[in-house]
Amino acid sequence: MVWAKGVLTAGVVVYYFIPEVLAIVVPGYALGWAYRLPPAGSTGWTLNYSGGGLWGGNAFIDGLSLIGPYMGSVIPLAIIATTADLMCLVGAFNAGDPYPIGETLIADGCGTLIGAFLGSPFGTVVYFGHPIHKRIGGKVRANDVAEGIL
């Protein structure tokens, strides 16, 4: 959550939360629409995809030449993901579990890259509920391991 500050007409200051997703997606969507990026924003654009989830070999290398127009989205999202990981590590540190920052970020990035090479559109993330999970006596159990594998 992101703190926001609003001032009412009577000079009363009000603080409220804005979900991080809205603080990130809404300006990005508005700017993308204003600049007509990506091409999906143009009229008549259709997706022509004949693939079906099979391993494409080195198709990800062939696609690197097409990434240029999307760097305006990729770099800010990478910065946000790294910042979110750091916030999770700070939460874990405050709960009494100091995890190594470098190792955590490298493992998160490697997991995301492996998933991307295998066709996953989702990146891996550091668990953000660590302090609460610890406070209620949470331990690593079979369902946690199963969620990690899936």
Coil vs helix vs strand at 4: strand
Asked if residue 84 has pLDDT above 60, the reply is yes
Quote the pTM value. 0.53
**Which of the four pLDDT bands, split at 50, 70 and 90, describes residue 63?**
confident
Coil vs helix vs strand at 2: strand
Between 137 and 81, the higher pLDDT residue = 81
Between 79 and 10, the higher pLDDT residue = 79
Side-chain half-sphere exposure of 125, counting CA atoms within 13 A: 14
| Number of C-beta neighbours around residue 9 at 10 A | 5
* CB contact set of 79 (below 8 Å; sequence gap of 6+): none
Average pLDDT over residues 63-79: 84
